[in-house]
Amino acid sequence: MPRVRFRSPFDDVTVEVPEGTSILDAAEKCGATVGHACGGVCACSTCHVWVRKGLESLSEQEDAEADRMDQAFDVRSYSRLSCQSLVGSEDVEVDITQESLQAFLDENPDLRHRLEAEGKWPLKR
């Protein structure tokens, strides 16, 4: 099975998933801090990740995702919405964007408060 690795200032986790699993579902399986304000229906951009490895092996980007990506922050040629990106046969590595981290911490205030108390959030630029 392909492996998906998630990296952020708070994550370095890897999970094996069956082909056809969305990157967002893989994140939820391993507890990675990928936000998902709309619940994974392509109605926000909070699940935005940068795909550092395996980009070509993912499912093709549909028009709805491309349109939604226009509203994301710091979009790059290797950006994808994790809820719309299905894993193929190859391993994948993604960086979780700050936009997605912010959304995740908004959805998990206990964790956000702990990271704030530890001086780890907001991120220093």
Binding site for ligand FES (CB under 6 A): 36-38, 40, 42-47, 68, 81, 83
Residue 83 near residue 47 (C-beta atoms within 8 A): yes
| Residue 51 burial (10 A CB sphere; 0-12, 13-18, 19+) | buried
Least distance in angstroms from the C-beta of 39 to ligand FES: 6
Nearer to ligand FES, 5 or 68 (CB): 68
Least distance in angstroms from the C-beta of 9 to ligand FES: 21
Least distance in angstroms from the C-beta of 41 to ligand FES: 6
CA 32 → CA 11, 28, 57, 64, distances in Å? 6, 6, 21, 25
Nearer to ligand FES, 8 or 125 (CB): 8
3-class secondary-structure state, position 83:
helix
Nearer to ligand FES, 5 or 36 (CB): 36
